[in-house]
Amino acid sequence: MIRHLTLCILLLVGCGALAAEDKPATPAEAPKVERLKTDQWCWTHDIPKDKCTTCDRKLIPALKKAKDWCSEHEVAESLCVKCDPKAKDRLDAQRPADKPKDAK
């Protein structure tokens, strides 16, 4: 009788340990994105200036080298809202709060 009780207790403890291991880990918080300054934002194309390849085509080789280039849509991969819908949220978080009066 004691053996059965001991065996049941060990099984229950073991199952509880397994169940704890099976639980999905809580997702890590998304990295905080800092809001850019007004002069760091391309207001014409509504993206960060350091990734605006429409204004500065010379950025493309550096983006490709950094593996941050979407060749399908010809934009920085980190900004490609067609490939990654969450990119819009990152852009919204980076966009400066105050748009200059002379910005288009």
> Tens digit of pLDDT for each residue in 40-67?
999 999 999 999 999 999 999 999 999 9
Q: For 98, how many CA atoms within 13 A lie in the half-sphere containing its CB?
A: 5
Q: Evaluate if residue 27 carries a pLDDT over 50.
A: no
- pLDDT tens per residue, range 11-26: 666 655 444 444 454 4
Higher-pLDDT residue of 100 and 71 is 71
CB 43 within 8 A of CB 103: yes
DSSP assigned state of 36:
P
| Residue 32 DSSP class | P
Return d(Cα 61, Cα 7) in angstroms, integer: 65
